[in-house]
Structure 1
Amino acid sequence: MGKTSKKQSKQANHLSPHVKRPTIFDLERHTGFSRSTISRAFSQDASIKDDTRSKILKAANEIGYSLHPGARMIRAQRAYRWGLLLPHLENPEYAQLVECFDAEARRAGTHLVLGLTHYDSEVESAFLRHWAAGEADGVITDVVSWEQNKPLFENLLARRYPFLVLYAAPKGLPVIKKDSYDSFCLGLRHLLDLGHKRIAFVGLDEPGSEHSNAHRAYINTLKEYQIDFDESLMVKGPNNRTAGIDAWKQLQALGKNAPTAIMTFNDIIATGVWIAVHSQGLSIPKDISLIGNDDIPEARLMGITSVSYDRIALAKQAIGLLEQMRSTPETKPQELKMKTELIMRGSIGPPKKLAH
């Protein structure tokens, strides 16, 4: 082995042999300053001479010491972490939200912790209880089951623990949602004005899905144009691409009664429809028109008309509201709405029989 330099030896002597991470005691021995002085050096608000702070921070860098996050948490009585609870990351919409929330949390001097429920209400409950016990200052969640975990959410609300629900929540709970009803109606009216009479809707097979903006827009716009609702054109499935593929097969089986256009709950389902259509040598919009929701990157590449919103603005508002709820527990539950717009692309055209 090579020789150890005097400088390295001098620094090593200040480190306890059985401690992997340098502690404040090591820094105390290394600098000669008291622990209280060292603590003040790491606090921007503490009263301490600039020269002393500089010496301590320089020495800390030399031995590899950093303030233990637990100490910061104890002093501030907070975790400096926000929990984000999502069903999965298969949907690029969720992946993009993670990026936006993480960037906004860091900008605010905090961090993001991600949890995935995989649509399991017990997993959802475990995450929420763990984070609410002090592991996170607040939670943003796309809820799995209101019915099964209702008592837990009511308890969090009563304790004034900061949490915010994504997309939809029972009345009285804090929620941030997309104001997409009018955008969906606009897309449907465009299809109807082009001559489409048989428009299918592919939604989610889960409780409460009939209250979604997409579902309500579909039902109400058909009524507006005096078109009778046809249950065979309403397809429900899971929140993934396979649902779109299966929906296309089911709708094709209707033969002469098959739809000429399809609107989906979101883009991940729409991309499944797109894949199924093109796998049969057909094309969009020549053989079928298609509208999605969320404006994910794949939808843009495939040219799918979609409903878009500002995810960065959503993350900023959400983190800001959680911080307000944390610092001011008396803050009443709020409902935040994000504006949306219909992004027209090449997936919409007249019905095939009217195309020429």
Structure 2
Amino acid sequence: MAETTRHSEPRYGNRPTMKDVAARAGVGLKTVSRVVNGEAGVTPDTERRVQEAIDALGFRRNDSARVLRKGRTASIGLVLEDLADPFYGPLSRAVEEVARSHGALLINGSSAEDPVREQELVLALCARRVDGLIVIPAGDDHRYLEPEIRAGVATVFVDRPAGLVDADTILSDSFGGARQGVEHLVAHGHRRIGFIGDQPRIHTTTERLRGYHAAMADAGITVDDRWVSLGTTAPERVRAAAEEMLSGPEPVTAIFAGNNRVTVTTVRVLADRERPVALVGFDDIELADLLGITVIAQDAAAVGRTAAEHLFRRLEGAGHATARVELPTILVARGSGELPPA
């Protein structure tokens, strides 16, 4: 009687194992392990047989054993300010692409610009044993992370520096970008230029305000206190600030908007006015090209990609000193910043 080869099939309700895959493909466990982990040393024909067995059995790799062996979970956390902010979309996608190229899962969440919520979210991710963190900080004291960093959780801060801890930081050049934007307005004849920004405790706000003052000083312009307004980016607050700057006997003839949310509200305010007012916004916004809005554009994807690459270099054992990287911004002239004073 001819010998019949019997394939081991997993019992109903049990997850198929690498042993089941090996039996079905007629190979050893080590061969299955090499295929599953993408290692070299397997012929194309053998790899095909193993993959067919994996597909037939519905095998899924269980990473628990790898975590125990290596102390790594193949996951990283990303803490954003606001998931709805369009700046963070390309940033998050870039981080995810780098993580995926390293075989890691990305878990993200939003601090809603609340330092307490940021800390809770970061520590919750650490409790789930993420290998590393990318944080857009809401607070200015990150000493709560020191035990996690000492325990090996690689950490990179983005958009704003960490507070009171030493960590890699990836920024856009907020000072230089704002300075260039205001210089652009000055070059088109404006002397009364308003600045509407976010809350003063935020690093990017203070840097962009510093750039505004530097450009005005370079032009020999004394800034009137009424030309500067900082606060929340709530539409009603921004609208009130813009309307106040645009009223009175000597209104501003141009506005520099400190971020994309401020720009959107300012565009709506200016749309209702008969007198043209020049506008430059920091951050690009959707439809800005169609609306003719001049902006200082950040490369959010480059910021995310650079942060993720630094993180994985740390995870791979890079022992160099902590880095502070400032990526350049670009002035995109589309018409609104080139209007002359009325």
2:261 aligned with 1:268: yes
Distance between the aligned counterparts of 2:128 and 2:83, measured in 1? 25
2:299 maps to which residue?
A: 310
Distance between the aligned counterparts of 1:54 and 1:210, measured in 2? 52
Distance between the aligned counterparts of 2:88 and 2:237, measured in 1? 17
Instruction: Evaluate the alpha carbon distance shift between residue 18 and residue 98 of structure 1 in structure 2; reply closer, same or farther with a 3 A threshold.
Output: same
Cα distance per residue 1:267-288 (max 9 Å; x no partner): 221111101221x2x26xx521
Deviates more, 1:290-299 or 1:206-215: 206-215
2:314 maps to which residue?
A: 325
- Secondary structure at the aligned position of 1:301 is classed as helix
Check the 8 A contact 1:181/1:217 in 2, yes or no.
yes
In structure 2, the gaps of 5 or more residues are: 1-5
Deviates more, 1:168-177 or 1:24-33: 24-33
1:189 maps to which residue?
A: 183
Instruction: Evaluate the alpha carbon distance shift between residue 258 and residue 90 of structure 1 in structure 2; reply closer, same or farther with a 3 A threshold.
Output: farther
- Secondary structure at the aligned position of 2:297 is classed as strand
2:11 maps to which residue?
A: 16
1:300 maps to which residue?
A: 289
2:153 aligned with 1:153: no
Cα distance, 1:212 vs structure 2: 3.2
For 1:324, give the aligned amino acid: R
Instruction: Evaluate the alpha carbon distance shift between residue 101 and residue 309 of structure 1 in structure 2; reply closer, same or farther with a 3 A threshold.
Output: same
For 1:192, give the aligned amino acid: V
Deviates more, 1:137-146 or 1:104-113: 104-113
For 1:40-119, list aligned pairs within 5 A. 40-45=34-39, 53-119=47-113
Distance between the aligned counterparts of 1:330 and 1:191, measured in 2? 44
Distance between the aligned counterparts of 2:205 and 2:232, measured in 1? 16
1:173 maps to which residue?
A: 167
Instruction: Evaluate the alpha carbon distance shift between residue 303 and residue 126 of structure 1 in structure 2; reply closer, same or farther with a 3 A threshold.
Output: same
- Secondary structure at the aligned position of 2:287 is classed as helix
Distance between the aligned counterparts of 1:210 and 1:23, measured in 2? 51
Over the aligned positions, Cα root-mean-square deviation in angstroms equals: 2.9
Distance between the aligned counterparts of 2:158 and 2:82, measured in 1? 14
For 2:333, give the aligned amino acid: M
Cα distance, 1:292 vs structure 2: 0.7
Instruction: Evaluate the alpha carbon distance shift between residue 100 and residue 241 of structure 1 in structure 2; reply closer, same or farther with a 3 A threshold.
Output: farther
Cα distance per residue 1:22-75 (max 9 Å; x no partner): 344654665576655543442333766765554333212111112124344444
Distance between the aligned counterparts of 1:232 and 1:192, measured in 2? 18
- Secondary structure at the aligned position of 2:156 is classed as strand
2:270 maps to which residue?
A: 277
Cα distance, 1:335 vs structure 2: 0.3
Instruction: Evaluate the alpha carbon distance shift between residue 22 and residue 238 of structure 1 in structure 2; reply closer, same or farther with a 3 A threshold.
Output: farther
Identity %: 24
- Secondary structure at the aligned position of 2:334 is classed as coil
Check the 8 A contact 2:194/2:256 in 1, yes or no.
yes
TM-score w.r.t. structure 1 length?
0.82
2:332 maps to which residue?
A: 343
In structure 1, the gaps of 5 or more residues are: 1-9
Instruction: Evaluate the alpha carbon distance shift between residue 51 and residue 223 of structure 1 in structure 2; reply closer, same or farther with a 3 A threshold.
Output: closer
TM-score w.r.t. structure 2 length?
0.85
Distance between the aligned counterparts of 1:14 and 1:338, measured in 2? 55
- Secondary structure at the aligned position of 2:328 is classed as strand
Check the 8 A contact 1:241/1:270 in 2, yes or no.
no
Between the two proteins, the alignment pairs up a number of residues equal to: 334
1:230 maps to which residue?
A: 224
Task: Say which structure is richer in helix.
Answer: 1
- Secondary structure at the aligned position of 2:327 is classed as strand
Cα distance, 1:334 vs structure 2: 0.6
Check the 8 A contact 2:169/2:323 in 1, yes or no.
yes
Check the 8 A contact 1:131/1:138 in 2, yes or no.
no
1:3 maps to which residue?
A: none
